[in-house]
Structure 1
Amino acid sequence: MNYQTFAPPAHLAPYVRFFWTLECEVPAGMPYVHRCMADGCPELLFHYKGKFDKLNGDNQVENCFSSGLQAQSRHFKRFIIKRDFGLFGVYLYPNALLELFHFAATDLTNGMPDLQTVLGIEADMLEEQMMLATDNKQRINIISRFLEMKVAKAKTVRPEITQTIRHIIASKGIHNVETLAGKQFLSLRQFERQFKTLSGFSPKLFTRIIRFQSAIAEAKNQSRSLTQIAYDCGYYDQSHFIHDFREFSGYHPKHYFSGKSEAPILY
């Protein structure tokens, strides 16, 4: 399996966290199952080789888009593919949904709309260009040019809330919601309403998901105990850590950190 990340151009950095690619050769008769964890950020996805399908709760296969948006989600999802694949992703900040694509984040939360739903008449040409690109460097150039056109028409919405969202991500979710609201000189109710429009989640749920993601990132440090990881990621105790991990991944953390889960450690 080959997973790579690429930094966006500086002028796209307020909207794009990074670009990524995932490629894998799948042996015949050995389907590859991938589990996507809960995530506070949306991402554009382009299957340029092969195509994953979604597994529902009964392990029944559901058709999935070739290109589209995986919105921010509080639920894990499972996908399957039976052949070699190549997948290109644009990992976005939540504010990109409203500022670039004119969707309130709450309209898309937990959803997976196809590219036509998100982009309308622009979708077909972009999808074709991404599919026919000779390599991922060319795909980065194509999607960067497309997003640059979106940025040129973007209207900044509540920059102070956007900055708060970015700060929560950068600080790995270790925040008090009341304190965040006070810094914006807003009542708690006003702050929560505006935050949810831009992120798709309440501030409390968003910080929980970001904190969970920071714990996943610690999986690469095998020398630390689960208790150490929990405390370092801002959990009050191990029971809260286990509760969030089960809710957002479907796994007990011990199973995930064993490296035997369906979700490979990519971070």
Structure 2
Amino acid sequence: MRYESFQPSEDLKELVKEYWIFESDDLKVSQQKIIPDGFSEIIIHYGDPYRINLSGQWGEQKSLLFSSQISKYFFLENTGKSGMLGIKLYPTAFHELFQLDVSELTDQVLPLDTLISGTENLVKIQNEDSPMKQKVELAESWLKRHLPNLNPQEKIRTCISQIHESHGMIDMDQMACEAALSARQLERLFKKVIGLTPKFYCRIIRFNYIFDVIKDQNDSWVRTALKSGYFDQSHFIKNFKEFTGEEPSNYGFDEVNLANFFLRK
């Protein structure tokens, strides 16, 4: 099993957080839980197909996908050996590149070619024998072709930065005021560009911060909750269970899986 991440070029550093590759020759079928992290992704499968369970039913995934912002956990399952490349996009990037209203895509993992045209060159990544670096270079080249159409959403970018810098602990009215927007305007624009309300996005980022705080193994759950911005332990546990389906005391923070790869760098 192998995970590896690659940084974007200078031209794409405001759009792409990272490229990641996951490979495994293990043919044993196993499930991966995917947990909200506040980013959307373009995913290219170049191994055997994967199955997905978003809302209680399993179905086979296409090989070229867009995974929107998600508000709850879901499951993936391999059918053989694994090979996938992910383009982890900053929250505004997909809307800025392709001008789609992403509020209609929330909590969905969709075939990319049903959303945008010109995805044929990404199919080259599915050449299993090409080295990882070449796969990333192909993804970079494809993204750069769309840069002339870029429509930066500076106000929402600024809000996103503030949310991440505060670990999701920011006053909504203050953020709207600093963006020169009313609370209603901010929410409407946020949903169109990001796919979630600013308040819910803050909840995801605050939840993500738990995985940084938890690195101090000596802390009690009460101290972890307070450090993560929760008023009490019960609120902390409820929020954690909402996003993972488990209580923090039962969660495998040290397990080697896709969720921890992103949340526990």
> Considering the TM-score relative to the shorter chain, is it more than 0.5?
yes
Query: Residue type matched to 2:229 in 1?
Result: G
Q: 1:113 to 1:203 in 2, by over 3 A?
A: same
Q: Which amino acid aligns with 1:67?
A: L
Q: For residues 144-184 of structure 1, what are the alpha-carbon distances to aligned partners after superposition, in whole Å with 9 as ceiling and x for unaligned?
A: 11111111221223x12222113312432121111211212
Give the alignment's TM-score, normalised by structure 2.
0.90
Counting only pairs closer than 5 Å after superposition, residues 64-103 of structure 1 correspond to structure 2 as 64-103=61-100
Residues 71 and 109, structure 1, Cα contact 8 Å, conserved in 2:
yes
Partner of 1:134: 130
1:260 positional shift: 6.2
Report how far residue 262 of structure 1 moved.
7.3
Unaligned runs of 5+ in 2: none
Which range moves more in the overlay, 257-266 or 186-195?
Answer: 257-266
What does 1:198-217 correspond to in 2, within 5 Å?
198-217=193-212
Q: 2:142 aligns with which of 143, 146, 170?
A: 146
Residues 258 and 186 of structure 1: is their aligned pair in 2 closer, same or farther, counting only changes over 3 Å? closer
2:224 is aligned, of 205, 224, 229, to: 229
Shift of 1:258: 5.5
Q: Which runs of 5+ in 1 are unaligned?
A: none
In the alignment, the residues of structure 2 paired with residue 16 and residue 7 of structure 1 have an alpha-carbon distance, to the nearest angstrom, of 8
TM-score (norm 1): 0.89
Percent sequence identity is 28
CA distance in 2, matches of 1:134, 1:261: 25
Determine helix, strand or coil for the equivalent of 1:235: coil
CA contact (8 A) 1:97 1:104 kept: no
Q: Distance in 1 between matches of 2:107 and 2:101?
A: 13
Moved more, 140-149 or 60-69: 60-69
User: How far has the Cα of 1:76 moved from its partner?
Assistant: 0.8
Equivalence map 1:34-113=2 (5 Å): 34-55=32-53, 58=56, 60-113=57-110
Distance in 1 (alpha carbons) for counterparts of 2:29 and 2:253: 21
Deviation at 1:118, TM superposition (A): 2.6
List per-residue Cα deviations over 1:208-253 (Å, max 9, x = no partner). 0111122134454433333232222212221121111111111111
CA RMSD of aligned residues (A): 2.1
Q: Is the 8 A contact 1:255 1:261 kept in 2?
A: no
- Report deviation, 1:141: 0.8
**How many residue pairs align between the two structures?**
261
Assess if the C-alpha contact under 8 Å between 1:33 and 1:262 holds in 2: no
What is the correspondence of 1:10-21 to structure 2 with a 5 Å cutoff? 10-21=10-21
Secondary structure of 2:145's aligned partner:
helix
Q: Which 4+ residue blocks in structure 1 deviate beyond 6 angstroms?
A: 260-263
Structure 2 letter corresponding to 1:85: S
Q: Which of 228, 234, 244 is residue 249 of structure 1 equivalent to?
A: 244
For the residues of structure 2 that align with 1:231 and 1:93, how far apart are their CA atoms?
Answer: 28
Q: 1:45 to 1:56 in 2, by over 3 A?
A: closer
